[in-house]
Structure 1
Amino acid sequence: MGKGGESIPDEEWERFLREAEAGTKGAPEEPSARARMVGRRLREETGRPEPWRSHQPARRQGGKGWYAVGLLVAVALLVVALDPGRVAGWFGGGGGENAPLAVESKRPDQPPPTEAAAQHPTLEQPFRGSPAAQWGDGTAGIGLPEARATGWMSKGQVAQALEKTRDFLAASSLDPGVLRGERPRKAIALINPHQQDVQDYLATAFRAPGRENDPLLLFSRFENTKVRLVGEVVKTRGRITYREGKRGAVEVTTDVTYVYPAVRAAAGSDEVARTIVRREVVMSWDDPAKVVVEPGTFSLVSYKVDTTNGGCDAFTGYLTPEFGAERAASRPGDGPEVDPYDRSTSMETRMREAGDAGCGTATRS
Structure 2
Amino acid sequence: MSEEEWERFLRESVTGAAGAPVEPSARARDVERRLRERPGPPEGWRTYSPARPRRRTGWYLTGLVTAAALLVVALFPQQVVGWFGGKDGGQDGAPLAAESDSPRKAPGAGPDLRPTLAEPFRGSPAARWADGAAGITVPPAGATGWMDAAQVERALRQSRDFLVAAGLNSRVLRGERPAKAIALLNPHQKDVQEYLRTALSSTAPTDKTDPLLLFSRFRPGQSRLVGDVVRTRGRLTYREGKRGAVEVTADVTFVYPVTPAGDSGQDAEVVRTIVRREVVMSWDDPAEVITEPGTMSLVSYALDTTNGGCSAPTGYFVPPFGAADEQSADEAHHVDPYDRSKPIGMGDGTAATGDSCSTATRS
**TM beyond 0.5:** yes
User: Counterparts of 1:119 and 1:227 in 2: how far apart (Å)?
Assistant: 22
Higher-Rg structure is 2
State the distance in 1 between where 2:325 and 2:237 align: 40
- What are structure 2's unaligned runs of at least 5 residues? 1-86
Greater RCO (CA < 8 Å, at least 6 residues apart): 1
- The CA deviation at 1:93 is 4.7
Question: Structure 1 residues 337 and 290 mapped into 2: Cα distance closer, same or farther (>3 Å)?
Answer: same
Which is richer in helix? 2
* Contact 2:347–2:358 under 8 Å retained in 1: no
- Structure 1 residues 146-172: Cα deviation after superposition (integer angstroms, max 9, x where no partner): 000000001000000000000000000
2:103 counterpart residue number: 108
Q: Greater shift after overlay, 327-336 or 290-299? A: 327-336
Q: Which 4+ stretches in 1 moved above 3 angstroms? A: 89-94, 326-335, 348-351
Matched to 2:101, the amino acid is K
Which whole-Å deviations, capped at 9, do the CAs of 1:247-294 have from their partners, x for residues lacking one? Answer: 000000000000000000014241110000000000100000010001
Residue 259 of structure 1 is aligned with which of 255, 261, 286? 255
CA contact (8 A) 1:142 1:239 kept: yes
- Paired residues of 2:328 and 2:359 also in contact (CA < 8 A): no
Aligned partner of 1:316 in structure 2 is: 314
CA–CA distance in 2 between the matches of 1:109 and 1:330?
27
**What's the CA shift for 1:336?**
2.2
Q: Which of 208, 214, 217 is matched with 1:218 structurally?
A: 214
The amino acid across from 1:212 in the alignment is K
Equivalent-residue separation in structure 2 for 1:332 and 1:266 (angstroms)? 31
CA displacement at 1:313 relative to structure 2: 3.4
Residue 172 of structure 1 pairs with residue 166 of structure 2: yes
Q: Is the 8 A contact 2:165 2:180 kept in 1?
A: yes
Q: Structure 1: where are the runs of 5+ without partners?
A: 1-88
Which string of whole-angstrom CA distances, capped at 9 and with x for unpartnered residues, describes residues 183-202 of structure 1?
10100111111011111111
Asked if 1:249 is matched to 2:238, the reply is: no
Bigger mean CA deviation after superposition, 152-161 or 205-214: 205-214
Instruction: Tell me if structure 2 keeps the 8 A contact 1:99–1:134.
Output: yes
Name 1:345's counterpart in structure 2.
342
Partner of 1:182: 176
The residue aligned with 2:153 is: 159
Q: After the TM superposition, which residues 79-94 of structure 1 pair with which residues of structure 2 at under 5 Å, given as runs?
A: 92-94=90-92
SS in 2 for 1:347: coil
Q: Provide, for residues 217-276 of structure 1, a one-character-per-residue CA deviation record: whole Å limited to 9, x for no partner.
A: 111000111100001110000000000000000000000000000000014241110000
8 Å contact 1:90–1:364 — kept in the other structure?
A: no
In the alignment, residue 263 of structure 1 is paired with which amino acid?
T
With normalisation by structure 1, the TM-score equals: 0.70
Q: Distance in 1 between matches of 2:98 and 2:307?
A: 25
- What RMSD in Å do the two structures reach over aligned CA positions? 2.3
User: Percent of counterpart pairs with the same letter?
Assistant: 60
Contact 2:133/2:232 (CA < 8 Å) preserved in 1? Answer: yes
User: What count of residue pairs does the alignment treat as equivalent?
Assistant: 269
Partner of 1:207: helix, strand, or coil? Answer: coil
Paired amino acid for 2:102:
R
Name 2:16's counterpart in structure 1.
Answer: none
Listed one character per residue, the Cα deviations across residues 80-109 of structure 1 (whole Å, up to 9, x for unaligned) are xxxxxxxxx999454xxx211011000011
Distance 1:339 1:101, change over 3 A: same
